[in-house]
Structure 1
């Protein structure tokens, strides 16, 4: 019944077209058969035909091509159907692992010739896709598309956990691992795991000793490009990060952020052993060694170990005799900058440490602490063997080891 109604409707529309064709004066009318043929071709091209197996709608021409996905070539491995045998052949390489297109520069192989063509641009340096906003060029069209978002500000990929948006889907995927805690890239040298391959690759340089980034000023090498960039500021003197509280400037953004916590009082890193908090993870890591007793930095000369690398560096100057800091007022030299500064107060007369109870001033903080005990009545740490006085209990404890060595072993006789 519906087919009859469809034919009746087509006949009525055809008569209207024929009438339109004959009303134009001076124009030779088309034959009825030719008019009908043209009309039906245009009308049916616009009509939608439904695919019975899947319910999708297509024009007559596209339906024929679509039906081949149901009746055409099919992968025996995964069941995916293709309209052409050549497409199935390419798809099967995913299952077989076949990569017939090899790069003659580095030997890397690819499934498709188009992938090899894109890869070759790494070697040729070709960048055919140019940004019309800043003229930056790219080797792949997809890279240009992502770059354009820096101009438009578009960030279409949003994290549903925290609302943060990203220009690239892959960046969002990596970000999500912060929330999930997923670290799918393990190091085969140690027990550490990482959220993305790039971080693992950088970490592996700890084991291999590889430092691919070299400073062209002093020859020092680095594992990361960002570290080299930060180092270059030593040579240029550039310090782009300025504190708006005290005016202090920094070459490294991380150091600047940590410094700002002095003013804000923020201490986001708590110790899980005691109630202390710290402004940076590095400070927390150092502090944890107080609880664990770990001293990872060992002197190769005498075997003494230290909690911090800078303490070891300071200690090594005892063995080397190095005294890089010289006084501008006399010929005296010092191994530590702090010792030089303290010494220079002899020449300048500077006394920066003031007693809060009597206004007396001192050139050394240790001298101030000793003086304050006059007011508090506190007895300083004193050696019960030789009577030597110390400003701190820890200094006394170190000193006591001298007497422990001097004492004869129990049972030893003269």
Structure 2
């Protein structure tokens, strides 16, 4: 076993902080010596002397608790507390000289620099995909393992990443913090707002290489491609019918479950989808929103317009 790399002491003019760093390094060295002496390996039962020594060191560290006055979170060293305080102050002292993006920690900047160098040192143990950050690798590997460690305490739904849980919690709280400055519409996710803004700008950056049709999002374009490939990856477990889109499968499954949660307040008729309810309500309002582009005649249902066009204008 090679000797550990000598610890490089960060220069500081604060005697208290320097003392904390020295003591922490001494404790780390002491703990390493105990581990090496007892030759503790993963999966083996630790020796009682090591267990006692480790416990004593942890107790000593626990006594030196530095607590954040803003949120109450505690740290073993003053330096770690200072790093944490930047969460509240917004300070990001480490700046990328390539793109100007700033970070709270030097380690985060170092990870970010790999975006510019193209370095991807982290390889998935299940497939050949590589990543420039260890956190990205960890998230990806959960796709293989099925691990979902972040669970909603309201409904029990689990997620692979904490950010997804945070987004999901807004379903329960009703919070929609991302607001369009053009029309005032609000969203639970920033990505949804970004896609929505393209409606105002008219931007459709994703183009189908089969037919040239353009789309607001990459996911919408990929879904559209199934029209060309005839792929239907989503199958009903009850009757085996397949669908190109997951949302179409969910709608279909309501036929089997009998769920019809959309109710007309005029006549109390129920529907499987909001779109079906919207079409039905036109009967009560007398609205005819579907005009014929050839003669101007209007219809209350798209199927009626299609029938009219076929029989009147396509003879």
Q: Report the TM-score, using the length of structure 1 for normalisation.
A: 0.56
* 1:310, distance to aligned residue in structure 2 (A): 0.7
- State which of 153, 176, 180 in structure 1 corresponds to 2:113: 176
Q: Is 1:236 aligned to residue 173 of structure 2?
A: yes
| Structure-2 separation of matches of 1:237 and 1:167 | 31
Distance 1:137 1:283, change over 3 A: same
Q: Is 1:161 aligned to residue 98 of structure 2?
A: yes
Which residue of structure 2 lines up, in the alignment, with residue 145 of structure 1?
82
Total equivalences in the alignment: 285
Aligned pairs for 1:2-401 (under 5 A) are 98=36, 120=58, 128-131=65-68, 137-150=74-87, 154-271=91-208, 275-355=212-292, 358-372=295-309, 377-378=313-314
| Structure-2 separation of matches of 1:271 and 1:175 | 32
Distance 1:192 1:120, change over 3 A: farther
* 1:325, distance to aligned residue in structure 2 (A): 2.6
Distance 1:342 1:119, change over 3 A: farther
* 1:128, distance to aligned residue in structure 2 (A): 1.8
| Structure-2 separation of matches of 1:268 and 1:165 | 28
Distance 1:242 1:100, change over 3 A: farther
Q: Provide structure 2 residue ranges, at least 5 long, that are not aligned to the other structure.
A: 7-25, 47-53
8 Å contact kept, 1:233–1:251: yes
8 Å contact kept, 1:127–1:137: no
Any idea what the Cα deviations from partners look like across 1:316-348, whole Å, max 9, x if unmatched? 233334333333333533222211221222122
| Structure-1 separation of matches of 2:254 and 2:90 | 54
| Structure-2 separation of matches of 1:99 and 1:344 | 79
8 Å contact kept, 1:326–1:333: yes
Distance 1:180 1:295, change over 3 A: farther
Distance 1:359 1:199, change over 3 A: same
| Structure-2 separation of matches of 1:342 and 1:79 | 71
8 Å contact kept, 1:118–1:140: no
Any idea what the Cα deviations from partners look like across 1:225-247, whole Å, max 9, x if unmatched? 22222222222222222222222
| Structure-2 separation of matches of 1:152 and 1:280 | 35
| Structure-2 separation of matches of 1:285 and 1:140 | 49
| Structure-2 separation of matches of 1:292 and 1:120 | 60
Which residue of structure 1 lines up, in the alignment, with residue 22 of structure 2?
none
| Corresponding residue SS for 2:197 | helix
* 1:260, distance to aligned residue in structure 2 (A): 1.4
Distance 1:183 1:287, change over 3 A: farther
| Structure-2 separation of matches of 1:364 and 1:133 | 58
| Structure-2 separation of matches of 1:221 and 1:348 | 42
| Corresponding residue SS for 1:171 | helix
| Corresponding residue SS for 1:226 | helix
Any idea what the Cα deviations from partners look like across 1:113-138, whole Å, max 9, x if unmatched? xxx789948x96x7722446776543
Higher relative contact order (CA 8 A, sep 6+): 2
Q: For structure 1, which segment, 210-219 or 167-176, has the greater mean C-alpha deviation from structure 2 after superposition?
A: 210-219
Q: What do you get for the CA RMSD once the two structures are aligned?
A: 4.2
Q: Provide structure 1 residue ranges, at least 5 long, that are not aligned to the other structure.
A: 1-75, 81-86, 109-115, 380-414
Distance 1:98 1:216, change over 3 A: same
Larger gyration radius, structure 1 or structure 2: 1
Any idea what the Cα deviations from partners look like across 1:97-117, whole Å, max 9, x if unmatched? 948697xxxx89xxxxxxx78
| Structure-1 separation of matches of 2:113 and 2:78 | 26
* 1:309, distance to aligned residue in structure 2 (A): 0.6
